[in-house]
Amino acid sequence: MVYKTNNPLEYNKVDGIVSDETAPAPQVQSAGVGTAILVGVFSWGPTELSQKVSQRLELFRTYMDTAISGMDALINKSFSSLRVVRVDVADAVKAAKTFQDIDPKDSVVFTAKYKGAKGNDIQVKIEDGTNSGKKYSVKLNDSANVSYFPEEIYDDVALSDVPATFANSKLVVASLSVGADTDPENTVGYVALTLGSNGAAVDTDYQNAIAKTEVEKSGNVVFLDVYNEVRNGYLKATAAVTQDKMVICAGPENQTVAEAVTAADALRDVDGRIIYAYNWLETTIRGVKVFQSPASFMASIISNIGPHIDPAYAGNSQYLYGVSAIKNGLSRPNFITLKEGGISSFEFDSDIGFKVKSGIVTQILNSEKVQF
């Protein structure tokens, strides 16, 4: 018979089997191995490091579903956990519209909540309030995203209450013009905000955005939507600063094997936290087949596997379900050259499908850190 006790003083009182059952420690929740962080350009949304995005609807409600590089980098990939940093493009502009009173004199100004040309799709209608003041209706003239951003209607709003009334708006910020003392005139239907612009993201914009990922335990692997040599350098610097996450670097679409080896040589670190992904992959984006950087596909794989599993494990081909072709059909000598250069390349295996050829980081001098 088994005697159960948690008292060590009773263990040896008599011969027999003693069972000491102890409840396990509570689970500790943390960022986990599956948290990928995308730094990219989006048409809408905040520019700080997001909370974890658990589903696509949540992503669309924050950043909108539009054809832009950041959103495209996520299409046809799965992530066990995802966070986003929208690149704050310095020369992007918020859309806005000033409405005048009867004088006419500037009265109320509506400004898009975030920078970007998407703000030009926001429309405002002003009518007499049902009981007093004005009735304001704000909507997004975009059929693809209207369900995520339903029309906002505010009735019986006094002029002085306009800023506070729109404090929780998902689309606009409202303010009073200097010296405004009279309600704005009613509009003829809906009037669009204007002059919003996406601007052009430059390397320093990405540098500032990448720095926002350096919060401790914020995630485990950082990747970009659009790469170049300078941005790869920013990622290398982040890997050195954080020490708790990996980064994925990549080159241009038509990069040769020799060019990739040269690029990876400049991206070696001490700890083996830098992955150089090679060989662009074809997928279908909004009905069109395009080649994409392998970085986002590599991030998807790493997000879905444990740290003890080699990204090159054949079973990981399931995470490349969206891939339809590969850019370069490489030879065995090519793969050997890439591996010796610290480059993790993708391949097409006729028996398995699309997969990672070598699970390797750029740190190749220390053989203990070759596999990750």
Task: Tell me the pLDDT tens digit for each residue of 227-286.
Answer: 999 999 999 999 999 989 999 999 999 999 999 999 999 999 999 999 999 999 999 999
Q: DSSP class of residue 310?
A: -
Question: Which pLDDT tens digit goes with each residue over 142-152?
Answer: 999 999 999 99
Mean per-residue pLDDT for 180-185? Answer: 97
Burial profile 298-327: b = 16 or more Cβ within 10 angstroms, e = fewer: bbbbbbbbeeeeebbeeebbebbebbeebb
Pairing between strand 281-285 and 325-326? antiparallel
- 347 torsion bin: left (phi>0), alpha (psi -120 to 50), beta (else): beta
156 vs 98: CA distance, rounded Å: 20
Say if residue 14's pLDDT is above 80.
no
Q: How far is CA 147 from CA 60, 73, 116, 139, 285, in A?
A: 10, 23, 20, 11, 21
First-residue to last-residue Cα distance in the chain: 48
If we measure between CA atoms, which residue out of 93, 2, 101, 89 comes closest to residue 42? Answer: 89
3-class secondary-structure state, position 16? coil
Say if residue 15's pLDDT is above 80.
no
Q: Which long-range contacts (CB under 8 A, 24 or more apart) does 163-169 make?
A: 165/136, 166/110, 166/136, 166/138, 169/113, 169/138
3-class secondary-structure state, position 315? helix
User: Which tokens in the block code for residue 73?
Assistant: 């980098």
Question: In this predicted structure, which of 132-146, 243-257, 332-346, 358-372 has the lowest mean pLDDT?
Answer: 358-372
Answer for the pair 42, 115: CB distance below 8 angstroms, yes or no: no
Predicted confidence at residue 29, as pLDDT, reads: 36
Show me where the domains of the chain are located. 35-89+200-369, 96-192
CATH code: domain 96-192 is: 2.60.40
According to DSSP, the residues that pair with 109 across neighbouring strands are 98, 175
Say if residue 6's pLDDT is above 70.
no
Maximum distance among all Cα pairs of the chain, rounded to whole angstroms: 100
Task: Mention the CATH class of domain 35-89+200-369.
Answer: alpha beta
Say if residue 200's pLDDT is above 90.
yes
3-class secondary-structure state, position 358? coil
From the CB of residue 269, how many other CB atoms can be counted at a distance below 10 Å?
16
Phi first, then psi: give them for residue 245, nearest 5 degrees.
-150, 160
Say if residue 55's pLDDT is above 90.
no
According to DSSP, the residues that pair with 354 across neighbouring strands are 348
Give the DSSP H/E element, type plus range, for residue 192: strand 191-192
CA 20 to chain centre: 47
**Do 35-89+200-369 and 96-192 fold alike per CATH?**
no
Predicted confidence at residue 8, as pLDDT, reads: 63
3-class secondary-structure state, position 56? helix
According to DSSP, the residues that pair with 157 across neighbouring strands are 134
323 vs 38: CA distance, rounded Å: 19
